Amino acid sequence: LLGCFRLVISPQLSAHGVREEPQFVTVRAGENVILGCDVAYPLNGQPYVVEWFKFGVPIPFFINFRFYPPHVGPEYAGRASLHGKSSLRIEKVRSDDQGWYECKVLMLEQQYHTFHNGSWVHLTVNAPPNFTDTPPQYVEAKEGGSITLSCVASGNPKPSVSWIREGIEPCVLRNTTQPGRTDRGAYTCRAYSIQGEVVHTTRLLVQGPPFIVSPPQNLTVNISQDAKLDCLAEAYPGNLTYTWFWEDDNVFFKNGLRDRVSILVDGSLIIGGVKPEDAGRFTCSPSNSLGQPPSAWAQLTVQYPARVKDMPPAIYVAIGLPGFIRCPVDANPPVTLVKWTKDGNPLRIEKYPGWSQMEDGSIHVAEVTEDSLGTYTCMPYNALGSEGWSAPTPLVLKDPPKFSIVPGGEYRQEAGRELVIPCAAEREFPYPNITWRKVGKPSKSKHNVLPTGSLQFKSLGKEDHGEWECVATNVATSITASTHLQVFGTSPHAPANVHAAVSTTWVNMSWEAGYDGGFEQTFSVWYGHLGPHDWLSMSVPAGQTWLVVPGLEPQTAYQFSVLAQNKLGTGPFSEVVTVNTLVFPISTPEPLVLLTPPRCLTANRTQQGVLLMWIPPANHTAPIERYVMEFRLGERWDILDDTIPAGETELLARDLIQVTSLMYIHCFIRRQSC
């Protein structure tokens, strides 16, 4: 600014031809200051006029002549006065007083250079930061809406303005934002300069549903103690109501619990005198009628002494079969000991041959006889003790159920046809109950158990294929009879036991064939990179249950699955196997030689049977585990022997049908078919 003024203002000459340099004065806002005025001529007794100008204002704001009251502009009224003969005193300096000032002294009796007296003064007013615009102390906003927080400060030098959240976390705050519940809290605007600092705090209140700041924690208490589950929530507006649920029921609607619970103002749930039945999941849900209420849950565990629960009125055991004399224990922590009495006397199990006590306290009887007759009581214990003896319970001997009709070993039927598999039990009172169950994966098809106990399929489906068990049950025990159901005329079943032998650039897949649906089946191996990918497939030669997949990338994850198909269609994919190919070794490995088939299989008829002989494979890189010999009559291959030791090279097959048959042998390495 000084350089600028030197360009536009010509300095006045003094009596000696050179005017004094400008003065620079610095003062703090609110203080008093004197702006000096240089005069080249004596003022004693001579009439003169003193004028003060502020740069940018065309007329003087202060004029003083002799004894007359000075003329003062409105901005300086009450603050400006003459100091000495021509200097100016300004009281309570303000920030807007800053700038260039010029004084002029008019010598009324001088005839030359009358306006060459005076000088320039630059006044700098240092002011601490001061806010000129701040947001209100409290600001409300709806969650997901918009809000503006504006903060403007003035001062000299110009202050820097920053925002601080919650007093400790510096933040970059956009003036316009979409507030969420995490944005709530105190925001402090700070204006700072070397002259000082000022702060202004605004608390942002975000209207929205509550959020839980202190969720309930899993709690374990002993029986009869009080339990407290915390659930502190915050929200604006804060008209919170808390609802607690036991499992899916409101705690005030659950019998046995509603009279012992209370909810505190802070959301905590108090359960007085807990009972074992109170154990379970408790869920807290605070609400202020805005949005979807949140929820949080915790598990309440109740510990109590061991007790007998639901002791039956009689203990039934099957005579002549293994049996159990059970004590229905309910305990937390787990039971550690169960004592028994028989006919009012302590039961000494060691006196009864074949009797033993199980870990759960039950008595196992190897063979039930009349020695088991009697009246029994039991008392369980855990770390907290026991609630006492059970009620006396008599033991009753019963004959086990007996099958009058058992199903055959195997049934073979075409899909879509009807089939009835017989099963019946002897009709003695009380009558045994007949049920059927499928071993392994349950069947979803429609099947019925007839009043006679037989199993009826009105329309056989593929999922009905497999092992079935007929179960006859009376009050003492259950017996089972099993059968195999073969449903043909379907697509193949999924291959099982899929394995992968991994190398750097290839994987040797092997599997066990599922049921072929009654027709010859073939396989294909599907594979691809782990993750989203397009599956590739390779066909497997007929009759083979292994395949080498070449051309893979080293040190890469792949997924594999096997698919079977016959003339009726494809079956389901096998399980998906994930493997990682190996890393290339640093040293050059010896060439890998895959296992080749056994050689020169011959068959010679002898008086004892057919003597089969062969020569081991020419090449293999790992020890042979065993040989498997298969044969077929027609299209189906069956296993003749799958446990031939690796060192054997011949097998005597006895009792073969006198029909020309085909033989096939293959071997296993490290449990992989090859």
Each residue's pLDDT tens digit, 4-18: 323 233 334 343 334
CATH class of the domain whose range is 403-488:
mainly beta
Does the pLDDT at position 548 exceed 50?
yes
pTM listed for this prediction: 0.55
Give 314 or 442, the one with higher predicted confidence. Answer: 314
> DSSP code of 167?
T
Q: What is the mean pLDDT of residues 504-532?
A: 93
Calculate the CA dihedral of residues 286, 288, 291, 292 and round it to 10 degrees: 20
8 Å CB contact between 197 and 160: no
Calculate the CA dihedral of residues 622, 623, 629, 635 and round it to 10 degrees: -10
Check the CA dihedral 421-425-426-431 and report its sign: negative
8 Å CB contact between 370 and 397: yes
8 Å CB contact between 222 and 384: yes
Q: Residue 112: its pLDDT value, please?
A: 53
Q: What is the mean pLDDT of residues 68-86?
A: 91
In the structure, what pLDDT confidence band is assigned to residue 413 with cuts at 50, 70 and 90? Answer: very high
Ramachandran quadrant class, 289 (left: phi over 0; alpha: psi -120 to 50; beta: rest):
left
Q: Which of 140-149, 275-284, 435-444 has the lowest mean pLDDT?
A: 140-149
Give 237 or 242, the one with higher predicted confidence. Answer: 242
C-beta neighbour count of 317 within 10 angstroms: 23
CATH number attached to the domain at 309-387: 2.60.40.10
Whether domain 599-670 has CATH 1.20.120: the reply is no
389/341 Cα distance (integer angstroms): 9
Pairing of strands 196-207, 138-142: parallel
Q: What is the mean pLDDT of residues 515-530?
A: 94
Q: Which of 39-43, 74-78, 229-233, 571-575 has the lowest mean pLDDT?
A: 39-43
Q: Residue 5: its pLDDT value, please?
A: 29
At residue 69, the 3 state secondary structure works out as coil
Nearest Cα residue to 9 out of 56, 48, 60, 51: 56
Q: Residue 590: its pLDDT value, please?
A: 56
In the structure, what pLDDT confidence band is assigned to residue 606 with cuts at 50, 70 and 90? Answer: confident
94/32 Cα distance (integer angstroms): 10
Does the pLDDT at position 179 exceed 50?
yes
Token pair, residue 320, equals 């002549």
CATH number attached to the domain at 134-207: 2.60.40.10
What are 47-61's pLDDT values in tens digits?
888 999 999 888 999
Q: Residue 368: its pLDDT value, please?
A: 94
C-beta neighbour count of 445 within 10 angstroms: 15
Q: Residue 177: its pLDDT value, please?
A: 55
What are 658-674's pLDDT values in tens digits?
544 455 555 554 333 33
Mean pLDDT score of the chain: 86
Pairing of strands 323-325, 363-365: antiparallel
8 Å CB contact between 524 and 547: no
Token pair, residue 286, equals 């605070």
In the structure, what pLDDT confidence band is assigned to residue 397 with cuts at 50, 70 and 90? Answer: very high
Q: What is the mean pLDDT of residues 511-515?
A: 94
Nearest Cα residue to 510 out of 520, 497, 494: 497
CA–CA distances in Å: residue 138 to residues 162, 165, 178, 200, 201: 19, 14, 17, 11, 9
> DSSP code of 108?
T
What percentage of the chain carries pLDDT values higher than 70? 89
Q: Residue 610: its pLDDT value, please?
A: 86
Does the pLDDT at position 366 exceed 80?
yes
Query: What secondary structure, in 3-state letters, does 617-654 show?
Result: CCCCCCCEEEEEEEEECCCCEEEEEEEEECCCCEEEEC
61/254 Cα distance (integer angstroms): 87
CA–CA distances in Å: residue 238 to residues 184, 210, 234, 269: 13, 8, 7, 19
8 Å CB contact between 468 and 482: yes
> DSSP code of 352?
S
C-beta neighbour count of 546 within 10 angstroms: 20
Rg for the chain, CA atoms, rounded: 51
604/151 Cα distance (integer angstroms): 105
Q: Which residues contact 102 (CB under 8 A, 6 or more apart)?
A: 52, 53, 55, 118, 119, 120, 121
Q: What is the mean pLDDT of residues 322-331?
A: 94
324/304 Cα distance (integer angstroms): 26
Does the pLDDT at position 605 exceed 90?
no
Pairing of strands 296-308, 280-287: antiparallel
CATH assignment of 496-581, given 1.10.10.10, 3.10.105.10, 2.60.40.10, 3.50.30.30? Answer: 2.60.40.10
Q: What is the mean pLDDT of residues 10-38?
A: 72
Residue ranges of the chain that CATH labels 2.60.40.10: 23-126, 134-207, 215-304, 309-387, 403-488, 496-581
Q: Which amino acid, 416?
A: G
Token pair, residue 659, equals 């029909």
Q: Residue 311: its pLDDT value, please?
A: 93
DSSP symbols for 418-459: -EEE--EE---SSPPEEEEEESSSPP-S-EEE-TTS-EEESS
Ramachandran quadrant class, 409 (left: phi over 0; alpha: psi -120 to 50; beta: rest):
alpha
Q: Which residues contact 419 (CB under 8 A, 6 or more apart)?
A: 411, 413, 456, 457, 460, 485
CATH assignment of 23-126, given 3.30.70.380, 1.10.10.60, 2.60.40.10, 3.90.1150.10? Answer: 2.60.40.10
Q: Residue 171: its pLDDT value, please?
A: 56
In the structure, what pLDDT confidence band is assigned to residue 1 with cuts at 50, 70 and 90? Answer: very low
Q: Residue 7: its pLDDT value, please?
A: 29
At residue 602, the 3 state secondary structure works out as strand
61/341 Cα distance (integer angstroms): 118
CA–CA distances in Å: residue 25 to residues 154, 493, 593: 21, 101, 99
CA–CA distances in Å: residue 583 to residues 502, 503, 508, 592, 621: 11, 8, 16, 15, 19
In the structure, what pLDDT confidence band is assigned to residue 585 with cuts at 50, 70 and 90? Answer: confident
Whether domain 215-304 has CATH 1.10.10.10: the reply is no
- Report, in this order, helix, strand and coil percent for the chain, each rounded to 5: 5, 50, 45
Give 519 or 19, the one with higher predicted confidence. Answer: 519
What are 187-236's pLDDT values in tens digits?
999 999 998 999 999 998 888 889 999 999 999 999 999 999 999 998 88
Q: Which residues of 138-163 are buried (b: 16+ CB within 10 A; e: fewer)?
A: ebebebeeebebebebebbeebeeeb
Q: Which amino acid, 418?
A: E
